[in-house]
Structure 1
Amino acid sequence: MNIAKKMDTMCLDTGSYMMNFAGCAQCQACEPIKVVNVQRTEDEDNDEELVTFQHVCHECEHVIANHEYTFRVVDEYQVYQMYCALCGHGEDERSIMPCDPRGPKE
């Protein structure tokens, strides 16, 4: 079951997309949530970065969602991906050239 909302090209490597947060499922608190257990891994040989963290309730410490963000370079493009039950699922691809050889995105 895919519960993550499709976020088109939005890919967050930090923070939280609070528009999707109605409250903690465990204690119903609507306070701002915390970001904890941030891990950043860079593989310079493969031009890849992976960021993972958890969204946690400020009141009861319930883990609301696990967040994963990936950045990598593939051929002449920067590829961004995000998957998180709270923030949603997004991906984007941008040319590393000043002008995208494929033309403007529609």
Structure 2
Amino acid sequence: MCVDCVKSQFPDRGNTCLEAGAYLLNYDRCAACQERDVLQSSHRSREEVDEEEIITYNHVCQNCHHVVAKHEYTFSIIDDYQEYTMLCLLCGRGEDLISVSPEDPRKMASLF
């Protein structure tokens, strides 16, 4: 990972969790070749560990193949909720928890 390629390290993205793509607003330029071009994804892998899906890939400069950041996205089901997380120097930190039920019990409790 290269801190010189990004404007801000691990920005807080709230509940935004990207399984693919890149947060290009945070991309300054490639520290190796000084170009600011579209990033490619490389070394994409998907594995399941203890009922958790983990997707990882590298954000790579398309000109010189310098690795800008490693992106990690996870998905799991915990009780009645789908949990998503993202951790990436470029795309940031994010997590989200969504009910699998049509009526989210957390939202219903806040009504009373």
Query: Higher helix fraction: Structure 1 or Structure 2?
Result: 2
Query: Fold match, TM over 0.5?
Result: yes
Match of 2:72 in 1: 68
Q: From the CA coordinates, give the structure whose radius of gyration is larger.
A: 2
TM-score by length of 1: 0.89
Unpaired runs of 5+ in structure 1? none
Unaligned segments of structure 2, at least 5 residues = 1-7
Question: Which runs of structure 2 are paired with 1:15-94 in the superposition (5 Å)?
Answer: 15-43=21-49, 46-94=50-98
Equivalent position SS for 1:70 = strand
Instruction: Note the alpha carbon deviations across 1:50-71, whole angstroms, 9 max, x for none.
Output: 0000000011110000000000
RMSD value, Cα: 1.7
Query: Residue type of the partner of 1:17?
Result: Y
User: How far apart are the structure 1 equivalents of 2:85 and 2:61?
Assistant: 24
The 4+ residue runs of structure 1 with deviation greater than 3 A are none
How far apart, CA to CA, are the structure 1 residues paired with 2:80 and 2:51?
12
Paired residues in the alignment total 102
